[in-house]
Structure 1
């Protein structure tokens, strides 16, 4: 008789009893891989056990915030970002932005993001429900990010069948200038940005107080972040994720710079030893 048990984030345990095999699943949040324990029983009822330990590179609990890289304008930049470790790839579908993308390009960005295990986020500003749903479907978006009062007002309808990033804006002093929804909806993320999203301008982190909100994944901090200040910002406010756009741009302010992407990720990853 052999009994094997492994407990992990999404692992399985198998028991063999009298020639029959039974499998069960166990979940343990925050511990990616625990040792595999095997016990063997011989016919004389003597037992022996062995433990298989993961290597030092495995099973390490990562404690840094997740990263959203926004204002992605090409499949090439999406690949750079996702390969570097960004889990959310944002593209702007608002024509008035200098970083806006056409639907054909947005669809390709979505494809590349998904191929590297990231999720595609479409940014909408004061669009109507029909437009948002049509574009989200044609571009294969996984999340819809809502800016502007008109778009945010659509949350009751959109949240029923779509994954939502709800944007809150703070002024330069760190005071919110708009509010969370008055009712509770099924929202994936709240995102706190400066008053002028995508401008590279931040706000006063010391004065900011995150309101009490409920969402599936927590909240993202945006607004003027770059490799040299993201650690300070994340340490001060302890968001669940950080959102960067201008801080990883090339000098043209549109395309992304692979070196800046790498530098930003190194800074974020260094937070795991500080938290």
Structure 2
């Protein structure tokens, strides 16, 4: 099953606005919008990376205009006027047919692939993350196969707000650091401090805004083994990593130090503290199958 297909299906009938949305420091909306009529895909497919003007706001019944900066693929010959959406624009007109950013993201990442021109054929688009007002991380993943995907190609591309390539997040091995194990596709960023983060079953990774890998914490190392039980959700405006435990339904926060070289110590301390506080909370709240009921309806900080 395509792990990204939910974003199109959840839109339901009508006209979906965006599959993902993030906010830059100046209030620009960064997101992915879906298109109909692409290639031989049925229904809507997440395809366009787009941003709004600074200070944009969402309001009930209103759609802020999004300006396309990248297109995952350009095979849109089947599109009709009914497939165009007026709030997703490129060069002053709705995105559709040949009016779209070019070359496509598929072509851009394929040109850097060492395994051949068709490595990213049928690839999927992850959730973009803002590294600033005009620099974004755009994850692209090769096709999902039922037989297993570890070692499959992926790129955490860096694009500016005009869609121009600005490098990528470096330092990951397609096999040893594969996000396909467990489908760990989330990349988050701290746009206020210019840092990006990724967590999968093999490690927690941190980059500076130039794409240089600053820290790698391997889950093979004893202090970080517990990270395999967590998923990365977001980076808060305060510069904290927000995790969620896959079974225990708890959300610990990890403060990120100014020097990313000190992050391993902060993560180790947070994991140790998590265990102690979880035990105390379990005694107090008596969860049933890790479903938490608290009559006081208070939020317990972990």
* Same fold per superposition (TM over 0.5): no
Q: Which has the larger radius of gyration?
A: 1
Q: Return the structure number with greater helix share.
A: 1
TM-score normalized by the length of structure 1: 0.30
